[in-house]
């Protein structure tokens, strides 16, 4: 009995093997570096511009203000200064991933904070009831915007602009014209103004570093066992070491005593940083490890193709607006904690522009389909560093606006050029 494979079938097998060869080939440091450079040339920049920009800003402000910018007190202040914008930007990442925009996110955060403050002060409700109510208000706002955009097909720019105006009116009605509602609840105030115990900060930092390394190694081992394309083990170890060094280094700096007087001790990681870290882990898992996250990327990449593949595009669009407004509520709560009050202009002004700028600067595309939750962290730190450093230099307000606007314009330009390059490369 002949065991020869027919010529046509053999050719098909060779073709199939060539199609999947990249999934099974050995990957060393040299080939990994070449692949990364090729992705950069094709326009897949990711968070690299934000990281380089953040490093450049740290060097610049350290040179200009050597005794102040890198002080432990200012680093702690910078970490809390970035909290509201970073959380708001993290919610906007979900909306931007499907190619939409939410212009009302900033004022939604202010309205939700006003709901929380009114329940705390006037109704005497406990902090957890006030917080749950604020989160519910945010989710309802997002659901309404998402339904109008996804079901009625009204452009998100128009819908969110209408909510931008309307929500400010509701906030004004709740608080009263020119009024301010104080926030004095110990739990809420501690969120952005108090620090966790130093031992707890070190424990969490070590656990996060070890957890990240274990996750990466398990992923590498699983890919190897299935004979799939994977990063070289040297790269995985180096990546884990860098992340661990950043976490432990930041913990060391924030654990140093930064009290202005020797009579008191002030040190530790702010509780708000723990909140942002938790949100980052949850959002990263949601986008990268669930079918829901894959559907978000699919809708952002090509909504019609996603619909034909059986994805409920309407549900995905509504849900991302709900997530965005829900995180906007969290941002408003943190902002109220930092300021110890909620005013009628909470979340208005430049809040939304800074949040959108943070997401785009971090690497999220305005055209949908590309971005990660970590982009909000890098972009938020860039925005906060610019504001913090220029404040230390005593720069006039108009220069701060000009410089931040230029940075945002550069980020949007890079996004557009990268998208054009990806299109020309067929990606």
Is the domain of 142 the same as that of 109?
Answer: yes
Per-residue pLDDT tens for 10-55? Answer: 444 444 444 444 444 455 667 767 776 777 666 667 777 888 888 8
* 10 in a structural domain: no
* 355 in a structural domain: yes
* 423 in a structural domain: no
Is the domain of 76 the same as that of 115?
Answer: yes
DSSP annotation of 4: P
Q: Are 5 and 13 in contact (CB under 8 A)?
A: yes
* 236 in a structural domain: yes
> For residue 315, what is the enclosing H or E element?
helix 313-339
> For residue 342, what is the enclosing H or E element?
strand 341-343
* 425 in a structural domain: no
Is the domain of 237 the same as that of 214?
Answer: yes
Please give the span between the terminal C-alpha atoms of the chain, in angstroms, as a whole number.
47
* 29 in a structural domain: no
DSSP string across 84-101: HHHHHHHHHHHHHHTT--
* 212 in a structural domain: yes
Is the domain of 98 the same as that of 216?
Answer: no
Is the domain of 133 the same as that of 96?
Answer: yes
Is the domain of 298 the same as that of 404?
Answer: yes
Is the domain of 252 the same as that of 383?
Answer: no
Question: Which range of residues forms the domain containing residue 244?
Answer: 195-269
DSSP string across 150-172: HTS---HHHHHHHHHHHHHHHHH
Is the domain of 142 the same as that of 187?
Answer: yes
Q: How far is CA 422 from CA 35, 84, 301, 418, in A?
A: 15, 33, 13, 6
**What is the rounded distance in angstroms from the CA atom of residue 115 to the CA atom of residue 329?**
10
Model pTM above 0.75:
yes
**What pLDDT does residue 416 have?**
73
Give every CB contact of residue 270 below 8 A, 6+ residues apart in sequence.
Answer: 76, 79, 80, 83, 192, 193, 194, 195, 196, 254
* Segment-wise mean pLDDT, segments of 10 residues, the chain, 427 residues: 48 43 55 71 72 88 87 87 93 94 93 93 90 96 96 93 92 83 90 90 94 91 81 86 93 85 79 93 93 94 91 95 96 92 84 86 85 91 88 80 78 72 61
Domain boundary among 234, 269, 304: 269
Domain boundary among 269, 304, 333: 269
**What pLDDT does residue 424 have?**
65
Is the domain of 374 the same as that of 360?
Answer: yes
Is the domain of 363 the same as that of 276?
Answer: yes
Is the domain of 114 the same as that of 175?
Answer: yes
Give every CB contact of residue 105 below 8 A, 6+ residues apart in sequence.
Answer: 88, 91, 92, 95, 160, 324, 325, 328, 352, 355
* 45 in a structural domain: no
The total number of structural domains that make up the chain:
2
Is the domain of 397 the same as that of 292?
Answer: yes
Torsion of Cα atoms, 241 then 247 then 253 then 256, to 10°: -110
Domain boundary among 221, 250, 269: 269
CATH code at position 343: 1.10.3470.10
**What pLDDT does residue 391 have?**
86
């Amino acid at each position: 009995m002949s065991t020869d494979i027919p010529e046509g079938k053999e050719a098909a097998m060779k073709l199939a093997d060539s199609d999947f060869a990249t999934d099974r080939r050995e990957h060393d440091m040299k080939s990994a570096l070449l692949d990364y450079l090729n992705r950069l040339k094709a326009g897949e920049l990711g968070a690299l511009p934000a990281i380089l920009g953040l490093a450049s800003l740290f060097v610049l402000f350290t040179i200009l203000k050597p005794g102040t910018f890198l002080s432990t007190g200012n680093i702690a202040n910078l970490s809390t200064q970035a909290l509201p914008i970073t959380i708001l930007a993290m919610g906007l990442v979900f909306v931007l991933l499907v190619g939409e925009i939410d212009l009302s996110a900033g004022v939604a955060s202010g309205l939700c904070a006003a709901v929380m403050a009114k329940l705390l002060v006037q109704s005497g409700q406990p902090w957890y009831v006030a917080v749950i109510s604020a989160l519910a208000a945010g989710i309802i706002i997002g659901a309404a915007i998402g339904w109008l955009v996804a079901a009625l097909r009204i452009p998100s720019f128009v819908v969110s602009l209408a909510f931008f105006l309307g929500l400010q009116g509701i906030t004004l009605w709740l608080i009263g014209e020119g009024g301010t509602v104080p926030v004095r609840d110990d739990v809420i105030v501690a969120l952005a103004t108090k620090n966790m115990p130093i031992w707890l900060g070190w424990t969490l930092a070590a656990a996060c570093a070890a957890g990240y390394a274990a996750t990466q190694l398990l992923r590498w081992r699983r890919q190897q066992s299935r004979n799939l394309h994977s990063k070289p083990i040297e790269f995985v170890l180096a990546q884990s070491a860098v992340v661990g060094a950043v976490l432990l280094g930041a913990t060391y700096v924030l654990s140093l005593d930064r009290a202005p007087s020797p009579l008191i001790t002030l040190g530790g990681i702010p509780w708000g940083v723990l909140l942002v870290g938790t949100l980052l882990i949850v959002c990263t898992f949601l986008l990268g490890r669930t079918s829901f996250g894959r559907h978000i990327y699919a809708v952002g990449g090509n909504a019609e193709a996603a619909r034909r593949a059986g994805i409920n595009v309407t549900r995905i669009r509504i849900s991302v607006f709900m997530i965005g407004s829900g995180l906007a509520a969290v941002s408003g709560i943190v902002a109220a904690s930092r300021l110890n009050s909620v005013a009628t202009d909470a979340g208005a002004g430049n809040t939304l522009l800074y949040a959108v700028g943070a997401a785009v600067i971090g690497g999220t595309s305005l055209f949908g389909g590309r971005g990660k939750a970590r982009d909000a962290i890098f972009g938020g730190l860039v925005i906060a560093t610019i504001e913090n450093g220029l404040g230390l230099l005593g720069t006039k307000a108009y220069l701060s606006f000009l410089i931040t606007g230029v940075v945002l314009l550069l980020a949007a330009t890079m996004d557009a050029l990268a998208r054009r390059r990806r299109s020309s490369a067929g990606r």
